[in-house]
């Protein structure tokens, strides 16, 4: 059974929208991180879907998706480490209170 | 050793500078070391120049111990030094006065390290000016002299030192700017396309008569301010009065000679036609310098200012000799520069000695010191008599030669100038009377006589004054061939 | 001349040992004297004008040093300065003469002067007169004579040696030396004779009125030097030099005698002396002999040389002869006056505490030796000694001298001398008035002028010294005001210009730079508002920006 492209894109768009909403609204830094993971995954879905529909023989889309998963894992690790460090210093991970770079 | 012998002139020029840099690394507390280093360096330079004078071949053509190395390639500037009969007496004079004034500088009370650094830098600049044969290099040394002199007057001078230092600096700098323009014109308008003085003289300038006058005037302004020629002389009394005594010695003894030397080395041979046309103006300026300087000196109540104006008067004889355009006159002018350096240098040392003891230079404050400090009185009388041109002392020889040389060229000017001799005698005798003669003022009853070190600084000068006064041949023989060459170039009357 | 210098000089040196004894600067005095001998002998022995000039200035220097030897006295210091400067004015002439000769004739040696005179051509009179100008300065001839009387401030041996016997005679010596330059130019000779005559006559009249013993002698010296010049002006080097030699002896003797008197009574005013022959016979005797010699009584030396000059003057015309005779008369008068006032009569009005006494041997022996010279030296130039002196000089023993001139000149010379002496004895020795009171009263103005030395010092002070000093002062104020003022104004103008330029710099050039910086700053201030530091704001902006970008791209395509 082949799921047609529009559905796939719709799911992907939905994921993206949820992720963006979460990233913009969550106070918790970990929540923001998780939302970003959602955005990444929506991109992955698009990559895989387009590869499949256009029958790219090299499977470049899949390979890209795997890359994104890898980098996302790395990003999560770094992000969590940052959040941990911030928490150690400021006893909070609320994104509202972290504004060291305010001009 | 052979390397050093080949670069003897460079060694002479840069040895003081090297010693000056070394002094910067001596701790301030080691004052004796600083003094010893300065004395030693200047003495070494003196010995080397003495060696030069003894081994100089007056009859050999051109320059001796010449060094020429390409320096700044794109503009054809060379590092070019050389010695001839015109520069040798002045180099020796510089070395001698620098040494004696360094010894006399023990009286400088404070910041001695900086003082001697600047002092030695100054000596390097002066020696370089007299030895440079490349206009570019000449200009650099010429300016190098200004900077230390500015600080030496401005830091260690008297109450109005800032005014005097700035006046001196700006005045001289203004002159140098015109000289720079002239140098550039020479460079651009010569087939030689070079800064080398001998080469420029050899190949000549491609300039119209009017342009030649302008170039001459450019050089003239720079040299006139240094000499100084009326009406560019007013920096001199201020600078002299404010400068500390050893610096006054160098100022009068050496710096003034840079102007006269410039005429002989650059203006005259480079622009012979203008030099001939300029002779009358030069003679008149000489006359004004002599008479005017003497008259103003007579009106002074400040000992140092009197000597300063007497310098103006004496430099007038240099101009008179230069205006003669014959060998006697040139010999007189060149010799007068040398003699004036010795005599007035000694006078300023004497002023300094008296000032150190009394802290005043007002002539009317003294009186009757001849009985209290006879040695000083004798020395002062000796130098005053040499300065007023007593026959048998060196001042007479050069003044007589200048007058004798100028007489056939400008008889009226010569006779009028000779009246300066009477006024000169008048103000020096007035000065002697006000300081040495008359009843002793009570406040000077405890005045100590000249010390051993002070006498030591004056005796060499006295030896030279007496020696040249009695046997001027020894120095005339050195400079005559070079001056004959110059006259040949000018097409002047060589027989005289 | 050389012999005069050394012999008379030696005697005076000897005398000085006594005279200067006890002076704190005893050794310095003799050092100066020795230096003087060096310079004087250089002058006399020089075979070249330049070398002569060196000696010439050298003696001038020694004269300066010795006149102002007691320099604590302002008068002595001033006198020294005056002497040096006045002679320096003369030296100027000599220097100009030397320059002229050097230029026209080529060399300066004193040989072949006649040839040099020819080479000088039309310039020869000028050269001769310039040399005479120099000689006038040294030999105190009018109008440069003013320094010599003041020079008497120096120690008396110095006055005797330098200002009577040797240095002042250098001018006469110089003219005699260079006489070949003068001889072909009658006008130059006339000038020499005229100046000499004027000087001699005026100085003699002044000498008649002075009361200071040394000043009488000083004016007498000037007068005698002028007399020598007259002799030279008459064309005879021999007459001038002969009188120079005899004069050196008797004038040195007079001065040393005066010194001996001053040494004894400690002042110099003849009106406060008298009767001194009792207490100091040797001095009195020698002084009187010298006075007689100077007055010109045969057979003492002064007679022979004076007679020689007078005889030459007869050749120059009656005016000169009359002038010469009247000078001889005045000479006899004033020197007798001095002798009478000093030595004759009763001892009166000398300070009560002073006890005049004869000077020590070291001073009287030179007096006696000089006296012998003053008596005898005249013979060497007379026919009795076979004109030995003329031969010695090796000049003009030819025809010019053989004709002896009218014999009445000798008689006239003796006559005026005796007349002068007699008149002076009458007036001062016996106290007779020479003229009725009415005549004296009407002549008192003349006396005042003469005794004030014709006001020449005052004249010079007004006409030369003060104007020169004023000129010097105004030159200085010109220098300080105008020239230095111009320099300072240039400096100030530079400062003003730089202030204007500073204003332009600050307001316009720097203003533009500052405005640019301010604009950047304000933009930054505005933009910093969006820099919240909140990650989510950034993200929102990024998202909004992306959306906008898409929208724009969309709209564009």
Q: What share of chain A is helix, strand, coil (3-state, %, to 5)?
A: 75, 0, 20
Number of other CB atoms surrounding residue C375 within 10 Å: 18
**Cα–Cα dist B376/B395, whole Å:** 20
Neighbours of chain B (3+ CB pairs under 8 A): C
**Cα–Cα dist B267/B208, whole Å:** 16
Query: Is the distance from CB of B387 to CB of B344 less than 8 angstroms?
Result: yes
Got the DSSP string for B276-332?
HHHHHHHHHHHHHHHHHHHHHHHT--BHHHHHHHHHHHHHHHHHHHHHH-BHHHHHH
Nearest CB to B296; choose among C72, C103, C472: C472
Angle at B490 between CA B489 and CA B492, to 5 degrees: 120
Identify all chain C residues contacting A96, using CB atoms and an 8 Å cutoff: 534
Angle at C65 between CA C62 and CA C67, to 5 degrees: 100
Could you say which residues from 45 to 64 on chain C have a Cβ atom under 8 Å away from some Cβ of chain B?
Answer: 50, 53-54, 56-58, 61, 64
**Cα–Cα dist C408/C150, whole Å:** 39
- Whether chain B has a CB inside 8 Å of the CB on C126: the answer is no
Q: Which two tokens stand for residue A78?
A: 């770094």
**Per-residue DSSP letter, B496:** -
Q: Which residue in chain C has the smallest CA separation from B375?
A: C28
- In this prediction, residue B324 carries a pLDDT of 87
- Whether chain C has a CB inside 8 Å of the CB on B318: the answer is no
Name residues whose C-beta falls within 8 Å of residue B5's C-beta, 6 or more positions apart in sequence: none
Neighbours of chain A (3+ CB pairs under 8 A): C
Check C533 against A100: CB less than 8 A apart.
yes
Q: Which two tokens stand for residue B153?
A: 């007057």
Nearest CB to A103; choose among C531, C536, C543: C531
**Per-residue DSSP letter, B73:** G
Query: Is the distance from CB of C29 to CB of C69 less than 8 angstroms?
Result: yes
Least Cα separation, residue C545 to chain A (angstroms):
14
Closest CA to B418 of C122, C239, C98: C98
Instruction: State in Å, rounded, how far the first CA of chain B is from the last one.
Output: 43
- In this prediction, residue B284 carries a pLDDT of 92
Name residues whose C-beta falls within 8 Å of residue B444's C-beta, 6 or more positions apart in sequence: B358, B366, B368, B369, B372
Walk along chain B (496 residues) in steps of 10 and give the mean pLDDT of each run. Answer: 79 91 87 88 92 86 85 84 90 92 85 89 93 91 90 87 86 88 87 82 81 90 88 86 89 90 89 86 91 87 88 91 88 92 91 86 82 86 88 87 87 86 85 83 80 88 90 86 83 52
Nearest CB to C74; choose among B230, B370, B438: B438
**Cα–Cα dist C487/B237, whole Å:** 13
Q: Which residue in chain A has the smallest CA separation from C529?
A: A103
Q: Provide the 3-class DSSP secondary structure of residue B493.
A: strand
Identify all chain C residues contacting A95, using CB atoms and an 8 Å cutoff: 534-536
**Per-residue DSSP letter, B438:** S
Closest CA to C136 of C206, C128, C247, B411: C128
Query: Is the distance from CB of B225 to CB of B193 less than 8 angstroms?
Result: no
- In this prediction, residue B219 carries a pLDDT of 92
Closest CA to C14 of C376, C369, C375, C371: C369
**Cα–Cα dist C154/C156, whole Å:** 6
Model's pTM, two decimal places? 0.78
Least Cα separation, residue C556 to chain A (angstroms):
24
Q: How many CA atoms lie within 13 A of C366 on its CB side?
A: 30
- In this prediction, residue C402 carries a pLDDT of 41
Nearest CB to C61; choose among B374, B385, B415: B385
Top residue of A30, A43, A79, A99 to mutate, by most chain C CBs within 10 Å, is A99
- Whether chain C has a CB inside 8 Å of the CB on B370: the answer is yes
Touch test A–C: 3 Cβ pairs or more under 8 Å = yes
**Cα–Cα dist C226/C331, whole Å:** 12
Closest CA to C131 of C111, C117, C149, C118: C117
ipTM of predicted complex = 0.79
Q: For chain B, what are the domain ranges?
A: 279-496
* Chain centre distance of CA A89: 26
Nearest CB to A101; choose among C533, C536, C540: C533
**Cα–Cα dist C149/C333, whole Å:** 19
- Chains B and C form CB pairs within 8 A to the count of 113
- Whether chain C has a CB inside 8 Å of the CB on B425: the answer is yes
- In this prediction, residue B261 carries a pLDDT of 92
Which residue do the tokens 């430099």 mark?
B315
Instruction: Share the mean pLDDT of chain C.
Output: 77
Check C531 against A24: CB less than 8 A apart.
no
- In this prediction, residue B120 carries a pLDDT of 92
- In this prediction, residue A81 carries a pLDDT of 93
Could you say which residues from 17 to 46 on chain A have a Cβ atom under 8 Å away from some Cβ of chain C?
Answer: 20, 23-25, 32
Identify all chain B residues contacting C472, using CB atoms and an 8 Å cutoff: 295-296, 298-299, 423, 427
Check C540 against A103: CB less than 8 A apart.
no
- In this prediction, residue C345 carries a pLDDT of 67
CATH code of domain A5-90: 1.10.287.3510
- Cβ-based burial of C220 (10 A; exposed 0-12, middle 13-18, buried ≥19): buried
- In this prediction, residue C438 carries a pLDDT of 67
Nearest CB to C531; choose among A32, A95, A101: A101
- Cβ-based burial of C450 (10 A; exposed 0-12, middle 13-18, buried ≥19): middle
Identify all chain C residues contacting A98, using CB atoms and an 8 Å cutoff: 533-535
* Under-70 pLDDT residues of chain C: 1-5, 13-14, 18-23, 271, 274-275, 345-359, 380-407, 429-443
- Cβ-based burial of C448 (10 A; exposed 0-12, middle 13-18, buried ≥19): exposed
Q: Which residue in chain B has the smallest CA separation from C91?
A: B422
**Cα–Cα dist B171/B18, whole Å:** 29
**Cα–Cα dist C476/C468, whole Å:** 12
Q: C300 vs B333, C250, C289, C378, CA distance in Å?
A: 55, 10, 8, 7
Name residues whose C-beta falls within 8 Å of residue B34's C-beta, 6 or more positions apart in sequence: B23, B26, B112, B113, B116
Query: Is the distance from CB of C54 to CB of B391 less than 8 angstroms?
Result: yes
Identify all chain C residues contacting A33, using CB atoms and an 8 Å cutoff: none
Cα four-point dihedral sign C49, C51, C57, C58 = negative
Q: For chain A, what are the domain ranges?
A: 5-90
Identify all chain B residues contacting C91, using CB atoms and an 8 Å cutoff: 421
> pLDDT, tens digit, for every residue of A30-80?
898 899 999 999 999 999 988 888 877 888 888 999 999 999 999 999 999
Check C99 against B385: CB less than 8 A apart.
no
Check B392 against C95: CB less than 8 A apart.
no
**Cα–Cα dist C557/C553, whole Å:** 6
- In this prediction, residue C356 carries a pLDDT of 62
Q: Which residue in chain C has the smallest CA separation from A27?
A: C536
- In this prediction, residue A17 carries a pLDDT of 92
Name residues whose C-beta falls within 8 Å of residue B134's C-beta, 6 or more positions apart in sequence: B71, B77, B78, B79, B80, B195, B196, B197
- In this prediction, residue C214 carries a pLDDT of 82
Check A96 against C534: CB less than 8 A apart.
yes
């Amino acid at each position: 059974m082949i799921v047609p492209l529009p559905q796939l894109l719709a799911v992907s768009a939905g994921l993206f929208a949820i992720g963006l909403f979460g990233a913009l609204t969550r106070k918790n830094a970990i929540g923001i991180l998780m939302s970003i993971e959602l955005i990444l995954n929506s991109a992955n879905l698009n990559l895989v879907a387009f590869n499949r529909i256009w029958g790219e023989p090299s499977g470049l889309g899949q390979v890209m998706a795997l890359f994104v998963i890898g980098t996302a894992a790395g990003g999560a690790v770094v992000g969590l480490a940052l959040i941990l460090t911030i928490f150690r210093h400021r006893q909070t991970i609320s994104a509202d209170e972290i504004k060291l770079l305010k001009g | 050793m052979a390397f050093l012998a080949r670069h003897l002139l460079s060694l002479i020029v840069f040895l003081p500078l090297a010693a000056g840099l070394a002094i910067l690394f001596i701790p301030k507390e080691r004052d004796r070391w600083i003094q010893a280093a300065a004395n030693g360096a200047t003495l070494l330079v003196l010995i080397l120049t003495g060696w030069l004078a003894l081994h100089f071949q007056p009859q050999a053509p051109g320059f001796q111990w010449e060094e020429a190395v390409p320096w700044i390639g794109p503009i054809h500037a060379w590092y070019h030094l050389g010695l001839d009969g015109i520069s040798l007496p002045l180099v020796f004079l510089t070395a001698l006065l620098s040494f004696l004034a360094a010894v006399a500088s023990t009286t400088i009370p404070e910041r001695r390290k900086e003082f001697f650094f600047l002092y030695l830098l100054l000596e390097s600049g002066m020696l370089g000016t007299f030895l440079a044969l490349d206009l570019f290099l000449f200009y650099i040394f010429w300016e190098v002299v200004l900077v230390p002199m500015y600080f030496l007057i401005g830091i260690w001078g008297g109450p109005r030192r800032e005014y005097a230092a700035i006046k001196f600096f700006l005045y001289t700098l203004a002159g140098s700017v015109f000289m720079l323009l002239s140098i550039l014109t020479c460079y651009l308008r010569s087939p030689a396309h070079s800064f080398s003085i001998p080469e420029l003289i050899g190949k000549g300038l491609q300039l119209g008569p009017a342009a030649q006058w302008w170039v001459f005037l450019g050089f003239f302004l720079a040299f006139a301010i240094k000499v100084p020629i009326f009406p560019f002389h007013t920096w001199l009394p201020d600078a002299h009065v404010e400068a500390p005594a050893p610096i006054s010695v160098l100022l009068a003894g050496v710096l003034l000679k840079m102007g006269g030397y410039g005429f002989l080395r650059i203006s005259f041979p480079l622009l012979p036609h203008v030099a001939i046309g300029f002779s009358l103006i030069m003679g008149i300026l000489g006359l004004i310098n002599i008479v005017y300087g003497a008259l103003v000196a007579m009106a002074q109540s400040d000992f140092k200012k009197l000597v300063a104006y007497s310098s103006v008067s004496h430099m007038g004889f240099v101009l008179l000799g230069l205006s003669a355009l014959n060998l006697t006159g040139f010999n007189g002018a060149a010799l007068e520069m040398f003699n004036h350096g010795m005599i007035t240098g000694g006078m300023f040392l004497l002023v300094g000695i008296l000032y150190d003891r009394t802290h005043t230079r007002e002539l009317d404050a003294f009186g009757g010191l001849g009985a209290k400090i006879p040695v000083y009185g004798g020395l002062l009388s000796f130098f005053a008599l040499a300065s007023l041109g007593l026959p048998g002392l060196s001042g007479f020889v050069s003044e007589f030669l200048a007058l004798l040389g100028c007489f056939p060229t400008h008889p009226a000017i010569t006779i009028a100038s000779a009246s300066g001799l009477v006024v000169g005698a008048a103000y020096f005798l007035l000065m002697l009377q006000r300081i040495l003669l008359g009843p002793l003022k009570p406040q000077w009853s405890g005045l100590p006589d000249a010390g051993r070190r002070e006498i030591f600084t004056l005796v060499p000068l006295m030896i030279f004054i007496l020696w040249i006064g009695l046997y001027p041949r020894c120095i005339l023989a050195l400079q005559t061939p070079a001056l004959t060459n110059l006259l040949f170039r000018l097409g002047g009357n060589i027989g005289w | 001349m050389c012999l005069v210098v050394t012999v008379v000089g030696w005697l005076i040196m000897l005398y000085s040992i006594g005279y200067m004894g006890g002076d704190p600067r005893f050794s310095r005095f003799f050092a100066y004297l020795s230096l003087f001998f060096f310079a004087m002998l250089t002058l006399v022995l020089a075979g070249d004008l330049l070398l002569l000039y060196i000696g010439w200035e050298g003696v001038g220097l020694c004269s300066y040093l010795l006149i102002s030897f007691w320099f604590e006295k302002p008068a002595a210091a001033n006198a020294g300065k005056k002497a040096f400067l006045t002679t320096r004015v003369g030296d100027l002439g000599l220097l100009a003469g030397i320059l002229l000769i050097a230029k026209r004739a080529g060399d300066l040696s004193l040989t072949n002067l006649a040839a040099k005179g020819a080479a000088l051509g039309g310039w020869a009179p000028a050269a001769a007169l310039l040399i005479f100008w120099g000689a006038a300065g040294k030999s105190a001839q009018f109008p440069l004579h003013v320094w010599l009387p003041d020079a008497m401030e120096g120690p008396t041996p110095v006055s005797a040696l330098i200002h009577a016997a040797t240095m002042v005679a250098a001018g006469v010596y110089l003219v005699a030396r260079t006489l070949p330059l003068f001889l072909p130019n009658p006008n130059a000779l006339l000038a020499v004779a005229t100046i000499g005559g004027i000087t001699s006559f005026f100085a003699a009249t002044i000498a008649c009125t002075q009361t200071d013993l040394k000043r009488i002698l000083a004016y007498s010296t000037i007068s005698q030097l002028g007399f020598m010049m007259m002799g030279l002006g008459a064309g005879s080097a021999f007459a001038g030099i002969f009188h120079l030699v005899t004069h050196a002896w008797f004038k040195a003797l007079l001065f040393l005698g005066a010194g001996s008197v001053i040494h004894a009574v400690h002042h110099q005013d003849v009106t406060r002396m008298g009767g001194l022959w009792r207490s100091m016979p040797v001095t009195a005797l020698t002084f009187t002999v010298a006075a007689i010699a100077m007055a010109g009584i045969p057979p003492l030396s002064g007679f022979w040389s004076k007679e020689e000059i007078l005889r030459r003057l007869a050749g120059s015309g009656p005016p000169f002869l009359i002038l010469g005779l009247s000078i001889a008369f005045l000479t006899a008068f004033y020197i007798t006056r001095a002798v009478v006032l000093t030595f004759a009569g009763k001892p009166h009005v000398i300070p009560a505490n002073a006890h005049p006494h004869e000077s020590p041997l070291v001073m009287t022996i030179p007096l006696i030796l000089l006296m012998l010279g003053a008596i005898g030296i005249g013979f060497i130039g007379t026919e009795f000694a076979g004109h030995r002196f003329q031969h010695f000089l090796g000049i003009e023993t030819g025809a010019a001298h053989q004709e002896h001139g009218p014999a009445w000149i000798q008689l006239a010379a003796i006559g005026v001398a005796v007349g002068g002496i007699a008149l002076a004895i009458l007036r001062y020795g016996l106290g007779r008035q020479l003229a009725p009171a009415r005549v004296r009263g009407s002549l008192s103005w003349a006396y005042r002028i003469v005794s004030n030395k014709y006001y020449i010092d005052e004249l010079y002070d007004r006409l030369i010294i003060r104007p020169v000093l004023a000129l010097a002062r105004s030159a200085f104020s010109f220098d300080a005001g105008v020239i230095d003022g111009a320099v300072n104004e240039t400096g100030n103008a530079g400062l003003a210009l730089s202030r204007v330029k500073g204003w332009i710099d600050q307001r316009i050039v720097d203003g533009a730079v500052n405005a640019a910086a301010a604009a950047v700053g304000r933009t930054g201030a505005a933009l910093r508002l969006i820099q919240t530091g909140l990650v989510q704001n950034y993200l929102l902006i990024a998202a909004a920006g992306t959306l906008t970008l898409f929208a724009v791209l969309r709209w564009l395509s």
